Chains A and B, each alone.
Chain A
Amino acid sequence: MPDPLAIEVAGVTVDFTGMRALDGVSLAVPTAGCFGIVGESGSGKSTLLRTILGLQGPTRGEVRIEGVLQPHRRDFRAQARLVQPIFQDPALSLSPRRRVGQSLDEVGEALGEPRDALRARLGGVFERLGLQMPVLDRYPHQISGGQARRVAIARALLFQPRVLIADEPTAGLDVSVQGDLLNLLQEIRAATGVTLLIVSHNLAVIRLIADRVAVMQGGHIVEEGDSRSVFDAPRSDYTRTLIASWPRGQPVEATG
């Protein structure tokens, strides 16, 4: 029996009042690779990620993570070890009223792991991410954006998840920092074997990091395939236009 797919999205449709954000999206994310989803703003990328995470219930269709049916809006306990998110603005994913250390200790609470054991693991994770222990005593607004981003990644890694899902992880970063972050994610993937699912409207980012790519437009997936073949020999007209409109070697973020 083959390994289950890391993520399997089958015929997912998501309707919001008056509009259809996703229209029958199917997607197969293989285990241990880096899967990129690219598409312009409003194409439904975030909605797709939120549906995969179970934050958004699909109108139709279903999602499986490591073969397990996504239990939308029910208990996230079991799912927490399978998949963790890195949100678009990681600083906002930390409670503004709690010290960084308190936010990280919640991982131990969620996993039922004693605080000492968690803190011991934390040392290794912090080292890998280049974080210093004193940030534990700070509040989110007292640390830099870069640190907050790393703290959010650290929290996700402490779950030792099978899949990491990142929505626009490079949004708002300088080009050089973007590269660092993408390298960091690749290192983590190489070291832990975690499956990465990364969404960006930035073609250059996806091109740099993903080995498989899906292109989204208007709630549909218009093209999916091996990164090289999608970028070098796009089959869909939309992908061709997208690539043509994106100047080579310019990974600078616009807002979105």
Chain B
Amino acid sequence: MRGFAGRIWRERGGRTGVLLVALVLFIALILPFATPDPNKIDVPARFLPPSLHHPLGTDNLGRDLLARVTVGTRSALWIACVVIALSMAGGLALGVIAALSGRLVDRLVTGFCDIVSAFPSYILVFSLVALYGAGLGKLVVAIALAFLPQFARITRSQALTLRHRPFIESARLMGLPATTIIRRHVLPNIVGPVIVLASMNIPSVITTEAAMSFIGLGVQPPQTSLGTLIRDGYVFLDQSWWPIIGAVAVLAIATLGCTLLGEALRDVVDPKLRREP
């Protein structure tokens, strides 16, 4: 693991990625212990510029913006992790089933993935939320669905190449149950690229959630996420531009950091996954 971490550190952009992600994690996980109540209203102190007392200033209700950014970041990361976990689990299951269950099932799964990914992810998420209503749970499921086909595809192609590897065929000819073969011999040999894909997708998931929350279709107040913070700031942009800055900066840092880290991870785990220009 030491060698692995070292290789990421030495990879181009890897170091920056690690530092930026560490900063975001610090904001989301550690900083909340040091900041005041993010919901404490103090109207006379509204729209304060940054100061020692309020490092990022205050919003339209005089709430401490740093505190609000930390909880917003935490919920944005938490949502992204849940979404990615759902997409990954669903994609792994569908991909393995498609690869190993014969032609008809493979056609069905591939067709499903083609249809889902024919829509740009924003449009798909937007339509699903418009159809089934706003709210955190539905948003999470909708984004997870939009990102699922990539996981299903990469799992399927990995499993298809594994299928004829002699150690898999040996295991089959030994009469081991299919579930054992999948769990013990197939999955451990495909998780690498799948995890890389997951890390590369985290930035898009964060921005998708932020965009949906920004237009009011995702996280609902009083819950906060980066998207709701940016919207709140945007509404009062003519009165103060401080409320929007912190959330936008964290969003930028988070997406940049995750992208750099994901790319470094990809280059270390499997350089072949790099898309040729």
In whole angstroms, how far apart are the Cα atoms of A43 and B81 in the complex?
52
Flag if A79 contacts B165 (CB, 8 Å). Answer: no
Chain A interface residue bracket vs B: 20 to 34
Shortest CB-to-CB span from B158 to chain A, Å, is: 14
A110 close to chain B: CB less than 8 A:
yes
In whole angstroms, how far apart are the Cα atoms of A128 and B18 in the complex?
54
Answer whether A84 and B185 are a contact pair too, CB < 8 Å, given A89-B166, A92-B165, A93-B166.
no
Residue of A nearest to B164 (CB): A55
Hey, which chain B residues are within 8 Å of A75, CB to CB? 175
Flag if A55 contacts B173 (CB, 8 Å). Answer: yes
Hey, which chain A residues are within 8 Å of B165, CB to CB? 92
Shortest CB-to-CB span from B68 to chain A, Å, is: 46
Flag if B167 contacts A85 (CB, 8 Å). Answer: no
Give residues 20-40 of A contacting B (CB, 8 Å): none
B137 close to chain A: CB less than 8 A:
no
Flag if A55 contacts B169 (CB, 8 Å). Answer: yes
B189 close to chain A: CB less than 8 A:
yes
Residue of B nearest to A80 (CB): B175
B170 close to chain A: CB less than 8 A:
yes
B82 close to chain A: CB less than 8 A:
no
Flag if A80 contacts B166 (CB, 8 Å). Answer: no
Flag if B167 contacts A53 (CB, 8 Å). Answer: no
Shortest CB-to-CB span from B177 to chain A, Å, is: 8
Q: Which of these, A53, A93, A110, A152, contacts B175 with CB under 8 Å?
A: A110
Hey, which chain B residues are within 8 Å of A159, CB to CB? 174
Flag if B176 contacts A109 (CB, 8 Å). Answer: yes
Hey, which chain B residues are within 8 Å of A226, CB to CB? none
Shortest CB-to-CB span from B195 to chain A, Å, is: 15
Other A-B pairs, 19, CB within 8 Å; known A89-B166, A106-B174, A159-B174:
A55-B173, A79-B173, A79-B175, A84-B173, A87-B169, A92-B167, A93-B166, A93-B167, A93-B169, A94-B170, A95-B167, A95-B171, A95-B184, A97-B189, A106-B171, A107-B174, A109-B176, A110-B174, A110-B175
Interface residues of A (CB under 8 A from B): 53-55, 73, 75-80, 83-85, 87-89, 92-98, 106-107, 109-110, 152, 155, 159
